[in-house]
Amino acid sequence: MALLAPRGRARRPGEPHRLFWAALAAPGILWLAVLFIVPFYVILAIAGGYVNQIFGYPVAVYNPLHWSSANFTAAWHDMFGVGATVLPIAGRTLSYVAIASLISLVIAYPAAYFVARFAGRRKGLFLVLLIAPFWVSYMMRMLAWIGLLQTDGYVDKALTSVLGIQPINWLGGLSITVILGLVYGYIPYLILVLYAGLDRIDPALIEAGRDLGLGRIRTFVRVTLPLSRQPILTGMLITVLPMLGDYFTNQLLSGAAGTRMIGNVIDDQLNAPGQQGQGAVFSLLVLLVLVAPMIYYVVATNRTSRSAS
Amino acid sequence: MHPREGWRPDGTSPVARLFGESDQQPRPNAQADISRRGFLRRGAGAGLLLGAGATGASSLLAACSSASSGSAGPTTIPLPRPHNRVTWPIFADNKPIKSGLQPEQGATLEIYNWVSYINEAVIKNFCKKYNCNYHITTFQNIDEMLAKLRSGQVNFDIVFPTIDALGELVYGKMIRPINHSYVPNIHQAWSDFTDPFYDGQWQYTVPYTIYTTGMAWRKDHVPENPYAMANPWAMPWQAKYRDKVAILDDAREGISLGLMKNGIFNLNTTNPSRISAAGSQLVDLAHLTNVHFDNNDYTEVPGGQIWIHHAWSGDIASAASYMQKGVNVDQVGYWFPPDGNGPVGNDLITVLRGAQNPVLAHLFQNYFLDFHNAVENYSYTGYMQPITGITPQLLVQQKLLPPTLMSTTVLPSYFRRGVMELQLPVSANTLWEQAWLQAKNA
């Protein structure tokens, strides 16, 4: 037990033992193990498994020594082989997500900035309003848009009566509908994270900037913006990750061949008899793509906290 | 493969509202309709990919655990075809129940079915008659159903499978052979069903619903009439209807459409070049029209979002409930080849081997083969049963179907001439699935 106590510092009487703090982490670790690591291994086992040749269902192989590479090579062909179909979809997914995150940031940053800096006594009200979308399930919010965007829906009515333009077939498979759907779906997360970060910026630093002769804009660029780098990074991560794997925003608001994203490809494979193994490989691929920004995030956070201390 | 694939557990009746309200009223809440159905074909849940991966994987885990334990299974199973009747074996440890037993009293009948695929009013009458309760559990696709039955951790009495699942159900000893003495109403069904090719001597199954796959279109937007076209299966391939064309989101139905466009009506082909040619047709369709893949034929055509939709008969039978404001239901058409040479399918009612209430389960099969009960069931599901006397004229006369949609009913001649999508060898099925995914990713 004494080994666990930090060196050079004796435990004071009445202070909880370190094991106590470790025990607090146990539920979280258990959660992670049961709901992430085990399913992750099952995905691996299916990716390396085979298909039952009588009934056609996938069989997972749990011993890595017996894993087959068939699904991996098939996935490779889909990505890079002759007439590969998945690569363009992966590219489309990345561009949709990039555009959607940029739009989200442009909308979310001023909103969060306003609440954090200028909402004053009404901060609570604005926060509640920002959280309000979470009260309605993501799916319901998307379904509501189907009603609004459909032919003869309110959006078209408003556009034709106000701007006098031709009705647009929003649900006919337009990229813009999908991108705006992604923005709409995930922007509350971004605003909340940005708000939390911007709210923590010490007003004294901004005042100092002003006192030292910087104008409004230069204070923002030289002081506020650098200080909000970390919240922006966190917020982007929190929105980009689910956007990359999203499949039903697209399914609901378009469903067309021309807007498919990688999540749709995987969804289809997981539900096609005999193709689940390949779906598992693509799931792992997406995971790998997601891990890269994750690592960058961890490194960047460490650097910031080290330089801060 | 199936019209109810992906229906959500909170589903409500499409046809119950038929003629219940005037066409002039706004159509019923579109959100509820859509949430009930289709878009998340297999399971709601978080939008996170990892979430999806994990869900898929856990059901796969269930599947594989039985694969190792059930290693004594067959090495091949027969594939029923109209020209290759299969009479399934009856195993010594899975015999029919004895004749003359009394129904279980005060029992709870456990029913395992697709979503929104049975009229509970009929079940309630059944339970009143036999002094029982009932409980319905639903599945969203056949794989989910089979995985649950394979696990053995179920206590259902009745299950509603498709024909292509029979091999595994019989050889896996999941369903029990029928004692015919409890099911005299089989004679109310078309005579085909006392000796169907997929279950010689109806040892394991009685028929449930019957349906066709055809083409639905909006007459006010699409002047072409498929009944006058040389090849109506090619109807979706029209660039001028870009963004207004959809096909069913289903590998078997989709590739079959490509095959039929190419003039091939063997919808169980294992010929790789035919399968890939059908897939290429769909790729062309995607480029030509930015085609939608979905099973919302029942809302999108009446609602006007889609003008030409590859569709299931029973879905379009419900069109009146979903019409766009101010548009009459006779603007929706449904085409199925009048000579019957198109896809037909029928579902089954089977008794599970582990049934706690096998006598009630037999009586339930019998009850649903009764003419009056079948009509009442149709009034909810829109899917007709192959019972003698249920004709298009009757359904129209009873105001269960608009006269302009009489083509959504299935005639015995359709059933006899029609082509069925049946179980394929695993290797051929892989070709179908791959061609389909290629087309969807086009």
Do residue B30 and residue A146 have CB atoms under 8 angstroms apart? yes
Q: Does B430 touch chain A (CB under 8 A)?
A: yes
Whether residue B57 has pLDDT greater than 70: no
Same domain as B152, residue B84: yes
Look up tokens 């009056």; give the residue. B372
Do residue A39 and residue B293 have CB atoms under 8 angstroms apart? no
Cβ contacts of residue A217 below 8 Å, gap of 6+? none
Same domain as B178, residue B104: yes
* Residue B6 belongs to some domain of the structure: no
Q: Report the half-sphere exposure of B406 (CA within 13 A, side-chain side).
A: 13
Average pLDDT score, chain B? 84
Do residue B50 and residue A57 have CB atoms under 8 angstroms apart? no
B74 closest CB neighbour out of A54, A264, A283: A54
Q: Does B220 touch chain A (CB under 8 A)?
A: no
Model confidence pLDDT, tens digit, residues B388-423: 999 999 999 999 999 999 999 999 998 889 999 999
Same domain as B299, residue B158: no
Q: Would you state the pLDDT for residue B22?
A: 34
Q: Does B173 touch chain A (CB under 8 A)?
A: no
Do residue A272 and residue B303 have CB atoms under 8 angstroms apart? no
Nearest CA in chain A to B427: A53
pLDDT tier at B101, thresholds 50, 70, 90:
very high
Among residues B176, B211, B219, B215, which one has the least CA distance to residue B362?
B176
Model confidence pLDDT, tens digit, residues B232-243: 999 999 999 998
B57 closest CB neighbour out of A39, A143, A248: A39
* Residue B116 belongs to some domain of the structure: yes
* Residue B126 belongs to some domain of the structure: yes
| DSSP of B389-428 | T--HHHHHHTTSS-GGGGGGS--HHHHHH-B------HHH
Nearest CA in chain A to B42: A271
* Residue B29 belongs to some domain of the structure: no
Whether residue B66 has pLDDT greater than 80: no
Average pLDDT of the segment spanning A294-298: 85
Distance of CA B279 to the CA centre of its chain: 23
* Percent of chain B predicted with pLDDT > 70: 84
Whether residue A5 has pLDDT greater than 60: no
Average pLDDT of the segment spanning B126-147: 89
Token duo for residue A245:
């794997």
Same domain as B389, residue B370: yes
Model confidence pLDDT, tens digit, residues B264-301: 999 999 999 999 999 999 999 999 999 999 888 998 89
Same domain as B428, residue B339: yes
Q: Would you state the pLDDT for residue A210?
A: 85
Ranges of beta strands (E only) in chain A are 50-51, 58-59
Q: Are B344 and B146 in contact (CB under 8 A)?
A: no
The rounded distance, in Å, linking the Cα atoms of A151 and A157 is 9
Same domain as B119, residue B257: no
Contacts of range B261-267, beta carbons closer than 8 Å, 24 or more positions apart: B261/B231, B261/B233, B261/B234, B261/B237, B263/B231, B265/B341, B265/B419, B266/B419, B267/B343, B267/B419, B267/B420, B267/B421
Domain housing B316: 211-343+422-440
Same domain as B372, residue B272: no
- Which positions in chain B touch A254 (Cβ < 8 Å)? 292
* Residue B236 belongs to some domain of the structure: yes
The rounded distance, in Å, linking the Cα atoms of B409 and A37 is 51
Nearest CA in chain A to B172: A55
- To the nearest whole Å, the CA of B84 is away from the closest chain A CA by 19
* Percent of chain B predicted with pLDDT > 90: 65
Q: Would you state the pLDDT for residue A6?
A: 47
Residue scoring higher pLDDT (A134 or B10): A134
Whether residue B246 has pLDDT greater than 60: yes
* Residue B32 belongs to some domain of the structure: no
Whether residue B262 has pLDDT greater than 60: yes
Average pLDDT of the segment spanning B321-334: 91
Question: What's the CATH code of the domain at B117?
Answer: 3.40.190.10
Q: Would you state the pLDDT for residue B44?
A: 33
- To the nearest whole Å, the CA of B40 is away from the closest chain A CA by 7
Model confidence pLDDT, tens digit, residues A215-271: 888 888 888 888 888 899 999 988 998 999 999 899 888 888 889 999 999 988 888
- Which positions in chain A touch B437 (Cβ < 8 Å)? 85, 265, 268-269, 272, 275
Same domain as B426, residue B300: yes
Same domain as B297, residue B380: no
- In this structure, of A36-50, A275-289, B34-48, B129-143, the range with the lowest mean pLDDT score is B34-48
Q: Does B239 touch chain A (CB under 8 A)?
A: no
- To the nearest whole Å, the CA of B209 is away from the closest chain A CA by 24
- In this structure, of A6-10, A19-23, B192-196, B219-223, the range with the lowest mean pLDDT score is A6-10
Same domain as B270, residue B400: no
A58 closest CB neighbour out of B44, B63, B243: B63
| DSSP of A100-169 | HHHHHHHHHHHHHHHHHHH-GGGHHHHHHHHHGGGGS-HHHHHHHHHHHHSTT-HHHHHHHHHT-PPP--
Whether residue A134 has pLDDT greater than 90: no
B433 closest CB neighbour out of A185, A247, A274: A274
pLDDT tier at A55, thresholds 50, 70, 90:
confident
Please give the span between the terminal C-alpha atoms of chain B, in angstroms, as a whole number: 21
Residue A132, number of CB atoms within 10 A of its CB: 10
Residue scoring higher pLDDT (B239 or B59): B239
Q: Would you state the pLDDT for residue B137?
A: 93
Q: Would you state the pLDDT for residue B441?
A: 85
Q: Could you tell me where the DSSP H helices lie in B181-321?
A: 251-261, 272-289, 297-303, 313-317
Dihedrals phi, psi of B402, to nearest 5 degrees? -70, 145
Model confidence pLDDT, tens digit, residues B11-49: 543 333 333 333 333 333 333 333 323 333 333 333 333
Q: Assign domain A87-259 to a CATH class.
A: mainly alpha
Q: Does B429 touch chain A (CB under 8 A)?
A: yes
- In this structure, of A13-27, A103-117, B221-235, the range with the lowest mean pLDDT score is A13-27
Q: Would you state the pLDDT for residue A124?
A: 87
- Which positions in chain B touch A43 (Cβ < 8 Å)? 53-54, 57
Sign of the alpha-carbon dihedral angle for B249, B253, B254, B257: negative
Average pLDDT of the segment spanning A109-122: 89
Residue A66, number of CB atoms within 10 A of its CB: 11
Number of domain units in chain B: 2
Model confidence pLDDT, tens digit, residues A192-218: 999 999 998 888 888 888 888 888 888
Whether residue A159 has pLDDT greater than 90: no
CB pairs under 8 A between A and B: 197
Residue B372, number of CB atoms within 10 A of its CB: 11
- In this structure, of A101-105, A174-178, B59-63, B372-376, the range with the lowest mean pLDDT score is B59-63
- In this structure, of A300-309, B46-55, B250-259, the range with the lowest mean pLDDT score is B46-55
Dihedrals phi, psi of B190, to nearest 5 degrees? -55, 150
Do residue A151 and residue B305 have CB atoms under 8 angstroms apart? yes
pLDDT tier at A12, thresholds 50, 70, 90:
low
pLDDT tier at B70, thresholds 50, 70, 90:
very low
Do residue B325 and residue A274 have CB atoms under 8 angstroms apart? no
Look up tokens 């909402």; give the residue. A119
B64 closest CB neighbour out of A59, A172, A267: A59
Do residue B31 and residue A49 have CB atoms under 8 angstroms apart? no
- To the nearest whole Å, the CA of A108 is away from the closest chain B CA by 21
Whether residue B257 has pLDDT greater than 90: yes
Q: Would you state the pLDDT for residue A296?
A: 86
* Residue B10 belongs to some domain of the structure: no
Same domain as B252, residue B218: yes
Same domain as B432, residue B290: yes
pTM for this model (two decimals): 0.77
**CA dist B115 to B11, B136, B140, B380, Å?**
6, 9, 7, 12
* Residue B162 belongs to some domain of the structure: yes
Residue of B49, B171, B242, B276 to mutate for A, most A C-beta atoms under 10 A: B49
Q: Would you state the pLDDT for residue B93?
A: 94
- To the nearest whole Å, the CA of A151 is away from the closest chain B CA by 6
Average pLDDT score, chain A? 86
